[in-house]
Structure 1
Amino acid sequence: MPAEGAIRDGTTADFDLIETLRWQPADGFVRLDRHLQRLYSSATALGFAADPDAIGGALGKCRGDAALRVRLALSRDGAAEATITPLEPLAKDAVWTLRIAQTRLDSTDPLLRHKTTRRHIYDAARAEFPRELADEVLLLNERSEICEGTITNLFISVGDPVLVTPPLTSGLLAGVLRGSMLDAGAAREVAVTEADLRSAQTIFVGNSLRGLVRARLA
């Protein structure tokens, strides 16, 4: 059986593993243990070298006087590089507008569960709508189940305090924020359709960088 990192024609995929972290001056890296756990798990599954000293050294250079977006990239040979950009805060009352892409995900693609630089399908979905019409774009799978956004996981309220989020079997990234919410009992996995989304009491999208953001489906 080929490794998960093999493309379907049998060649080895050319991509890096990535983690996008939030750094806070008072707290350091937010959910660092979970980010590293996902990175090391993906490295093992996909045959990447992963040296904790190299990764720690790259992250150790990321400091600032304000919140930062830190992008950690790990190449197949174990080279680690981190880049930083200022993180502009969202307004407290921000509500993102969501659209649904025509671009579809294949729920059987195992790479969807790993955060990589193989972004072409997400870039294609994002390109379907101009920024002024959509803050985030959602993708469906071949069964018309909602999977995830181009940079976020989806969460909806269906009448109880525990939010619903699509399961990994729908074909999506095992998000760090998503995992922490599942472990805390703040979310549960249920397949979500467009009809479920349109009838939801409340919609959120989120990731470890931004947290939960209120949203509406246009």
Structure 2
Amino acid sequence: MARSAAAFEFPFARDAALAQLGLATGPIPLRVRLTLDHSGRFGVTTAPLAPAPALWAFSLASHRLEATDPWLRHKTTRRALYDQTRAALPTWVDEVIFGNTDGALCEGTITTIFVQKRDRLLTPALSAGLLPGVLRQSLLEDGRAEEAALTIADLATAEAVFLGNSLRGLILARQV
């Protein structure tokens, strides 16, 4: 959030953000969403967090992203395409994966893509046009994943495909 706030020239107070997050408690597991407006004010919303299934089914989006779109690199409330795509999911599909106009893999509506090949966990490079998610960054920094130029065709040749985010971790996935 601090990186995006700086990019958009929004005031950002880390201590105030942490204080707001500290208010988000409950007797059940929660999804917590922290937002920041242009004046530096934070908002927090919560919702129950349903358990994640052991295996997610995913499909490919027909819409292709533009790798040069600067909005793709920031988690914002400007996500109509992602929200509309999720709202149209059939009941048997958990996630939709986007590629870009060059055929590179990008990301899911709420997840980062990880492809296992030759015992290496690979994730698309930021240059493909995607969000540098928290889970993705953590796995890269820990050396458990590495960036690669991945294409949609890599999904068919992968030993395994995982989808993940900081809320749910890595989830084994299969294409439907």
TM-score normalised per structure 1: 0.77
**Aligned with 2:55 (options 95, 104, 128):** 95
Q: CA offsets per residue over residues 90-137 of structure 1, 9 Å max, x none?
A: 24xx2111100111111001111110001112124335542x131000
Q: 1:176 to 1:202 in 2, by over 3 A?
A: same
Partners of 1:158 and 1:200 in 2: CA distance: 5
Instruction: Give the partner amino acid of 1:104.
Output: R
In structure 2, the partner of 1:68 is: 30
Asked if the contact 1:101–1:128 (Cα under 8 Å) also holds between the matched residues in 2, the reply is: no
**Aligned with 1:156 (options 110, 115, 126):** 115
Instruction: Give the partner amino acid of 1:171.
Output: G
Listed as ranges, the matches of 1:182-193 within 5 Å are 182-193=140-151
Instruction: Give the partner amino acid of 1:70.
Output: V
Q: CA deviation at 1:53?
A: 4.1
Asked if the contact 1:113–1:173 (Cα under 8 Å) also holds between the matched residues in 2, the reply is: yes
Percent identity reads 48
Q: CA deviation at 1:87?
A: 1.3
Matched, 1:111 2:71: yes
Partners of 1:86 and 1:135 in 2: CA distance: 17
Secondary structure in 1 matching 2:50:
coil
**Aligned with 1:52 (options 4, 7, 14):** 14
Which segments of structure 1 move beyond 6 Å, counting only runs of 4 or more? none
Partners of 1:125 and 1:142 in 2: CA distance: 17
The structure with the largest alpha-carbon Rg is 1
TM-score normalised per structure 2: 0.94
Q: CA RMSD in A?
A: 1.4
Instruction: Give the partner amino acid of 1:46.
Output: F
Listed as ranges, the matches of 1:1-150 within 5 Å are 39-91=1-53, 94-130=54-90, 132-150=91-109
